[in-house]
Structure formats: C-alpha cells, structure tokens
C-alpha cells in the first residue's frame, strides 16, 4: 500500500485495486480509519478526534488530487506524494 503523505505522525496510504467508494487509509499509531474522499467521512475504523480533524482538513485541501490518485491506483499506475498538512 503506497504512502501518499505523512504529517504529525499520521500516515496516509492508498491501496491498488481497491473497492469503491474512492477512499484512503489514515494511520496514527495503533489507530486506522478509512476516509471516503467524496464525503470526507470515516467509513471504517477510528482515529482520535483531533487527528481525524487534521486528516479531514488535509483531505479537503487535496480532494481533487486524491480522486486522481484513486484513478491511478485503480489502474495500477504509480502514485505520487501529496504535501503534508502545514
């Protein structure tokens, strides 16, 4: 699962050939959540509220790029990295 960003101890990853809806995985320590790119809602798993807030803020800044990466992953193309939350 390629890493597409990392910030404040949070790792953002996306699998190749994943099931819909378009989503990414956010990992923070022992916690992991799956975030829907369209709605920016955690559809599976758990992150502490402060961490989830940072992930949603970051994803809202990069939604178009995340959708592009989703398409690339669906087609097994190389994924690029996105800048971290600042």
Mean of pLDDT values over 13-31: 94
Total number of domains in the chain: 1
- Inside any domain, residue 86: no
Give CA angle at 78 (42, 59), nearest 5°.
25
Residue-range definition of the domain harbouring residue 12 = 3-74
- pLDDT confidence of 18, banded at 50, 70, 90? confident
What distance in Å separates the CA atoms of residue 68 and residue 66, rounded to the nearest whole number? 5
Give SS3 for 47.
coil
Residues in the chain: 86
The answer to whether residue 55 sits within a structural domain is: yes
Q: What would the two tokens of residue 13 be? A: 């990853």
Is it the case that residue 1 has pLDDT exceeding 80?
A: no
Q: Does 81 fall in a domain?
A: no
Model's pTM, two decimal places? 0.94
13 inside domain: yes
Q: Is residue 80 part of a domain?
A: no
């Amino acid at each position: 699962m390629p890493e597409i960003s990392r910030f404040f101890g949070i790792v953002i990853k996306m699998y190749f050939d994943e099931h819909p809806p378009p989503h990414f995985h956010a990992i923070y320590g022992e916690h992991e959540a799956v975030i829907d790119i369209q709605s920016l809602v955690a559809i599976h798993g758990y992150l502490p509220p402060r961490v989830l807030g940072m992930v949603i803020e970051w994803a809202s800044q990069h939604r178009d790029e995340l959708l592009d990466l989703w398409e690339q992953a669906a087609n097994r193309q190389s994924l690029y990295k996105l800048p971290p939350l600042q």
